[in-house]
């Protein structure tokens, strides 16, 4: 069985933001849609709200008046659950409580036909646990839409432990028929996006807690060097600190308090203080009417070095060699077995972040990973108290000569972008190895669900298959808590590459 026929009525239970959004998606796809809410009058109010949004789409020439009128006629509020009896799909978007969702499923099973597909839009609860309330859990599936549902294309189609393949296939094809981009996912804490996205927030918060840099600087590095649309601090202010922390806490608890998903104490304090972000006017940033967002730390102008000595192929930073030459700086190249470092005129070294710390070496400055060194507007540098001032000045001047703003952060192993990307790549490999989703679906989910510039496996192919493992292994030696321990899946990935290259 494939997608639902457009003549099939669809129901949405729960008329909050997500419920209304899902209803609008089904409605504009051509279905009759019935809205139900336990609170009297809310279904009717939601119906009027959706109709008003369709009116605005007509005003913006995104919907024809004829299509709008037809959709208005197909959208029907329901006073009782019994009015959903003829629906072939019911999606719930009610309170995120297991007992509430389970009771709703029991009630629906007594009303709808045996061929009706039942679905949950939960983002934090187990699809398997909700479906366990049903006599026939095989017809139950997760349909995780992203907010706002009418605009965002991704839908995670989540199969619980007892979900039938035919039910998951129906849900997948239906999502595609509704104009969405579905990805198939096993029932795991956080599904795909909320599981693999945790390091994006966690590593930014960890760098802040370690006093490596302030929020504005970390956000700027993630945007202008990493290529992310928003930094972690500004994004969580937009999402809501309480909402973001709740997801993190849920994933952490569901994985039996796995240290890789440990919540941030700094974010906990923010939530406890009621500073939840834009919705309260204060979060990591002040969002008051007259507030100005703080500027990131940017180094003062420095003199560019006359030359650099490049040792090795520079790995993921190989594009820098051409950029340095184009800036009129002499490049002397020396062959090495492998390496990602430059030697500056004063004798200090400039190396790509690798999970080690500046304090371990006599005179070294680390620079962070960039999505595209040619297009990056900002580069982060990391130095220790023992780094020579001349070395740091030459490093700053070098990147400024390439047209980059430079932010100097504390001695943070793996820096900001590099360790964030390495951990995302690791969690993605681990998810594939455990049957959560395919590489293709994970890349699609992360690009569409959270707007990443590349999917984790796209990053991995670009950076080299052993890059993430090597960086995390070095980090793990310096922080043996387990937070940075590379997964067995990532180890196998890197080791298989080495064997193919002839390593004994």
CA distance 452 to 318: 23
DSSP output for 60-86: TTSS-HHHHHHHHHHEEE-SSGGGGTT
User: Residue 300, exposed/middle/buried by CB under 10 A (0-12, 13-18, 19+)?
Assistant: exposed
Q: Is 185 helix (H, G, I), strand (E, B) or coil?
A: strand
Q: Is 123 a catalytic residue?
A: yes
SS3 348: coil
Cβ–Cβ under 8 Å, residues 35 and 47:
yes
Choose, from 194, 244, 460, 487, the residue flagged as catalytic. 194
Of 31, 144, 429, 493, which one is the catalytic site residue?
144
User: CA-CA distance, 18 to 458, in Å (whole number)?
Assistant: 31
- How do 154-159 and 140-145 pair as beta strands? antiparallel
Q: What angle do CA 436, 480, 419 make, to 5 degrees?
A: 60
Nearest to 156 by CA among 137, 139, 169, 142: 142
Burial class (CB within 10 angstroms; exposed 0-12, middle 13-18, buried 19+) of 196: buried
CA neighbours within 13 Å on the CB side: how many for 28? 23
Please give the C-alpha separations between residue 370 and each of 95, 425, 443, 475, 495, in angstroms, as whole numbers. Answer: 41, 15, 19, 19, 25
Using CA atoms, how far residue 498 sits from 428, 441, 490, 493, in Å, is 20, 26, 13, 9
144 carries an active-site annotation: yes
Residue 425: closest CA among 450, 459, 393, 399: 459
Q: Could you say which of 109, 156, 245, 394 is catalytic?
A: 156
Tokens of 267: 């974010």
Catalytic residue among 31, 92, 109, 123: 123
378: number of Cβ within 10 Å: 21
Looking at the annotation, which residues are catalytic? 123, 144, 156, 194
């Amino acid at each position: 069985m494939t997608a639902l026929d457009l003549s099939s009525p669809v129901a949405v239970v729960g008329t909050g933001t997500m419920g209304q959004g899902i209803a609008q998606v089904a409605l504009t796809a051509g279905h009759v849609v019935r809205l139900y809410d336990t609170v009297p009058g809310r279904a009717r109010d939601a119906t009027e709200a959706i109709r008003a949004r369709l009116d605005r789409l007509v005003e913006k020439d995104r919907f024809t008046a004829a299509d709008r009128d037809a959709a208005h006629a197909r959208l029907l509020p329901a006073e009782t659950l019994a009015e959903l009896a003829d629906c072939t799909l019911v999606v719930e978007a009610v309170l995120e409580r297991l007992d509430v969702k389970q009771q709703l499923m029991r009630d629906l099973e007594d009303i709808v036909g045996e061929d009706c597909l039942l679905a949950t839009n939960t983002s934090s609860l187990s699809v398997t646990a909700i479906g366990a309330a049903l006599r026939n859990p095989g017809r139950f599936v997760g349909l995780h839409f992203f907010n706002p549902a009418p605009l965002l294309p991704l839908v995670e189609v989540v199969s619980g432990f007892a979900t039938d393949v035919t039910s998951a296939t129906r849900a997948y094809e239906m999502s595609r028929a509704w104009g969405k981009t579905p990805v198939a996912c096993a029932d795991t804490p956080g599904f795909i996006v909320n599981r693999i996205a945790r390091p994006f927030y966690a590593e930014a918060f960890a760098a802040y807690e370690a006093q490596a840099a302030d929020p504005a600087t970390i956000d700027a590095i993630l945007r202008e060097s990493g290529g992310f649309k928003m930094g972690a601090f500004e994004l969580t202010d937009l999402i809501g600190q309480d909402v973001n922390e709740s997801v993190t806490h849920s994933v952490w608890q569901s994985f039996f308090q796995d240290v890789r998903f440990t919540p941030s104490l700094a974010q906990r304090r923010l939530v406890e203080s009621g500073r939840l972000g834009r919705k309260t006017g204060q979060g990591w940033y002040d969002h008051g009417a007259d507030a100005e967002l703080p500027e990131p730390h940017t180094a003062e102008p420095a003199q560019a070095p006359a030359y650099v000595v490049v040792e090795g192929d520079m790995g993921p930073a190989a594009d820098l060699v051409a950029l340095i030459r184009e800036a009129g700086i002499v490049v002397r190249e020396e062959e090495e077995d492998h390496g990602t470092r430059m030697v500056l005129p004063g004798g200090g070294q400039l190396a790509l972040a690798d999970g080690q710390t500046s304090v371990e070496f006599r005179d070294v400055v680390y620079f962070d990973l960039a999505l595209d060194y040619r297009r990056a507007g900002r580069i982060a540098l990391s130095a220790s108290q023992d780094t020579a001032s001349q070395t740091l000045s030459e490093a700053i001047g070098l990147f400024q000569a390439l047209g980059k703003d430079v932010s100097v952060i504390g001695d943070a192993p793996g820096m900001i972008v590099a360790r964030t990307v390495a951990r995302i790549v690791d969690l993605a490999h681990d998810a594939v190895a455990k049957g959560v989703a395919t590489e293709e679906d994970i890349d699609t989910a992360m690009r569409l669900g959270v707007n990443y510039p590349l999917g984790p496996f796209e990053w991995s192919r670009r950076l080299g298959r052993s890059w993430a493992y090597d960086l995390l292994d070095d980090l793990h030696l310096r922080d043996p808590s387990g937070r940075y321990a590379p997964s067995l899946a990532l180890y196998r990935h890197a080791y298989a590459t080495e064997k193919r290259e002839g390593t004994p």
